[in-house]
Structure 1
Amino acid sequence: MQTTLSEQARQLPRAAEAESILRTCVHCGFCNATCPTYQLLGDELDGPRGRIYLIKQVLEGHEATAKTQLHLDRCLSCRNCETTCPSGVDYHNLLDIGRAVVDAAVPRPLGQRLLRQGLRALAPNPALFKALIGTGATLRPWLPEAVQGKLPRQVQPAKARPATAHARRVLLLEGCVQASLSPNTNAATARVLDRLGIAVEPVAEAGCCGAVDYHLDAQEAGLERARRNIDAWWPHLENSAEALVQTASGCGAFIKDYGHLLAHDPRYAARAERISALARDLVEVLRDEPLEQLHAHSDQRLAFHCPCSLQHAQKLGGAVEAVLKRLGFELTEVPDSHLCCGSAGTYSLTQPELARQLRDNKLNALESGRPEVIVTANIGCQTHLDGAGRTPVRHWIELVEAALPPLDSSHQPVTP
């Protein structure tokens, strides 16, 4: 795409990157075929090609307007278009650059500002978030139906984590909201990895990955969280921890981008690159292990929802399904499994109507094979889908842990 950046745009820290991405796009429109918002709205400006054109206009000196901001806000950042694009357009980075420019030029209405600031204050604060969820659970009968749908239907309490020491160690990102919404997810992870001879080491000093701030008009705040996490993880990685594991694929996708986002930071560039290289979604760890020694068994019929952050951002589509099948689970077919469920981080709160439509479409597809349980790999998707009050939705590692046989006195699986 022929592009001539304005003098003002050329002063942006990522100007050269934006220009390079814009020139990669060849206007083919293949991206619209798999864009969830284009499919719902049918508006060229609510598809990737239209949004690229809007960003191009702004970077070439045209005025950014509230309409420009609206179309960029409606993007889920699902990156389905990147999977589809034959030209390799790095759309999500261009979108981040464009959003920052537009948000700096177009003040948001007071209600939107308060919502975004509230989400940035709440979501990355586990103690505050837990208190809010507890209060919500107490008041549930008196809350509006829309608010009830944001609360977990049933919180699975966390089982005890193993205290076994192993030669192999991995770090585990505890996450922000997951500790309150699905506290057993990380406990189940620790218990399964323990059976495989891998110790899980939480790092209390590490906090939110930074994605919430970064995607809610506060990119520098998100990067500052990334820097603090790097400082917290670095001594452990230097002390032979073999990987940094995430059980929330959205967090994993963002951490794997640390190296790119901090590439021009002289203090953190090298460390960020190594952190990104050592970041592993849980499935990347398990798929290389001798899973047969777990002796897992379950007769449950599952449907797997592959989050966009897993299949489009981390390019791990099919990986969890393969692990579950190796362990003997029966998986149903899911039509249009490439499409977003509408969670998309905080999107279900900032764009509730579109998110609800996408959620209902996704649930219809997931339930078409009549599963007993839907499993997924991201807390946002899990909460969003489960909030519809239909088929229960859980993290897939919890189902794996539940399928393990008990251990005997010598800590060996008791097999039939």
Structure 2
Amino acid sequence: MQTHFSLRALADPQMAEAEKILRACVHCGFCNATCPTYLITGDELDSPRGRLYLVKEMFEKERAADALTTRHIDRCLSCLSCMTTCPSGVHYMHLVDHARAHIEKTFARPLAERLQRAALAFILTRPSLFRLLLRAAPLARVFAPLLPRRFAAPLALAPSRLQAPSNVDRPQVFAAQGARKMRVALLNGCVQTVLDTAINEATIRLLTRFGAEVVVAPGAGCCGALPHHLGREEESLRFARANIDAWSKEIAARGLDYIVINASGCGTSVKDYGFMFRDDAALAQKAAHISSIARDVTELVEALGFAPTGDAPRLRVAYHSACSLQHGQKITREPVELLVRAGFEVVAVPEGHICCGSAGAYNLLQPEMAEELRARKIANIDSVAPEVIAAGNIGCMVQIRAGAGVPVVHTAELLDWASGGPKPGALA
């Protein structure tokens, strides 16, 4: 793609990176065939190629974002399916992230929209506050029919029963069973510690069972992905810095072999810390190291030598490959192979590369599009008649649960059960 950026614009490292990404595009349109929003609307501006043109025009003219550009960038899920499809290696993720930050700084959204986005960034990243507000969800549902769709959508996804906080989510060390093979820090996250406490519990049992010492480091928490995708750059970097600092202290004090992440949306973010802080003289080296040792839980379970006990029944499992795992981290083999090794019958979901509509806070901000994508995903899942659905990302799990007729569990829960752990609560 030919570009005409000014020398002044190119003096900004972020703008220079954006120009480099744009120039890699050859207009082929392969990305359109796998873009969820383009499949729904058929609008070129709801495709990666169309969005590239909008961003290019905005950045070249060094102007504030307008309503048209904002609308179509907001509609992007950041599912990154386009990056898997692109033959030219266009790094769409970094470009759209830069565009979102520019929109946040230069476009005046309607007041209600600004308040909602700010509330989501503030509440969802603070587990105690999020848990407190969820207690009011049953009462708030009574008034949901009177609310605008934008504000009623979160209530529809709120759990009907709130789980108690888990003891595993406070800073501590879990000893390895038998000889210690590695020492890892678990990112226990923010939303996940409220919506599904069983995931971290299963992860810790699974890793320690096969020889990993697991640390929940003081000071580590939200990965920063949610405010990052809302364009709230400084908030995102603040969370990321806290994690880098917490894990770097643990590395200096007692050493860490890996950072383990069981929410793939968070994993994609942490693996990008090195890029995010590439121009930060104080943190660049530490951030790059953290990214280099970040691993999805399935990567580590495989490395530890997973072996099932054979006690779990042979269930038919539809494996939902989260976009952040298959497109963001390029992890497709490990979860499926581990589930098969565990004794489950794993069936592929048609259109498995298409997003379920969760995408961080997308299902809260773009409920109509998200619900259409969920209906499409559920129809594809139903076509293979599973007994259970497995996924590696809490956002996908919440989104699919809202429409699924069978239980939805984390991949780690099934692997834990198959190797001596308890039966997942959703299957009880």
1:376 to 370, 376, 391: 391
CA distance in 1, matches of 2:374, 2:192: 20
CA distance in 2, matches of 1:131, 1:263: 37
Q: Which moved more, 1:171-180 or 1:195-204?
A: 195-204
1:22-54 CA-partner distances (Å, limit 9, x unpaired): 110000000000000000000001000000011
Partner of 1:211: 225
Q: Which moved more, 1:352-361 or 1:9-18?
A: 9-18
1:194 to 208, 211, 224: 208
1:107-138 CA-partner distances (Å, limit 9, x unpaired): 11111100110001101101001112233256
CA distance in 1, matches of 2:381, 2:240: 34
CA contact (8 A) 1:158 1:184 kept: no
Deviation at 1:197, TM superposition (A): 1.6
Distance 1:4 1:258, change over 3 A: same
CA distance in 2, matches of 1:185, 1:233: 21
Matches within 5 A, 1:83-232: 83-137=84-138, 144=145, 146-153=153-160, 164-165=175-176, 167=180, 168-232=182-246
Matches within 5 A, 1:5-404: 5-6=5-6, 9-61=9-61, 63=63, 64-137=65-138, 144=145, 146-153=153-160, 164-165=175-176, 167=180, 168-238=182-252, 239-292=254-307, 294-295=309-310, 297-388=312-403, 390-404=405-419
Deviation at 1:223, TM superposition (A): 1.0
Partner of 1:410: none
CA distance in 1, matches of 2:105, 2:5: 17
Distance 1:220 1:296, change over 3 A: farther
CA contact (8 A) 2:309 2:418 kept: no
CA distance in 2, matches of 1:146, 1:59: 33
Distance 1:19 1:152, change over 3 A: same
Unaligned segments of structure 1, at least 5 residues: 408-416
SS in 2 for 1:400: helix
What amino acid is aligned across from residue 240 of structure 2 in structure 1? A
Unaligned segments of structure 2, at least 5 residues: 146-151, 423-428
CA distance in 2, matches of 1:343, 1:404: 30
Could you say what the CA RMSD is over the residues aligned between the two structures, in angstroms?
Answer: 2.2
Q: Which moved more, 1:325-334 or 1:249-258?
A: 325-334
CA distance in 2, matches of 1:255, 1:406: 28
Distance 1:170 1:91, change over 3 A: same
Q: Which moved more, 1:244-253 or 1:130-139?
A: 130-139
Distance 1:13 1:325, change over 3 A: same
Distance 1:295 1:51, change over 3 A: same
TM-score, length-scaled by structure 1:
0.92
Distance 1:62 1:223, change over 3 A: closer
CA distance in 1, matches of 2:118, 2:229: 12
CA contact (8 A) 1:155 1:182 kept: no
What amino acid is aligned across from residue 29 of structure 1 in structure 2? G
CA contact (8 A) 1:153 1:386 kept: no
CA distance in 1, matches of 2:237, 2:93: 16
Q: Which moved more, 1:252-261 or 1:141-150?
A: 141-150
Q: Which moved more, 1:298-307 or 1:175-184?
A: 298-307
Identical counterparts, % of pairs = 44
CA distance in 2, matches of 1:309, 1:389: 21
What amino acid is aligned across from residue 206 of structure 1 in structure 2? A
Q: Which moved more, 1:22-31 or 1:381-390?
A: 381-390
CA distance in 2, matches of 1:285, 1:368: 32
CA distance in 2, matches of 1:71, 1:142: 30
CA distance in 2, matches of 1:199, 1:226: 23
What amino acid is aligned across from residue 216 of structure 2 in structure 1? P
CA distance in 2, matches of 1:5, 1:406: 57
CA distance in 1, matches of 2:121, 2:134: 16
Deviation at 1:404, TM superposition (A): 3.4
CA distance in 2, matches of 1:273, 1:261: 9
1:122-157 CA-partner distances (Å, limit 9, x unpaired): 011010011122332566567558454211255677
1:312-338 CA-partner distances (Å, limit 9, x unpaired): 010002321111011111112210100
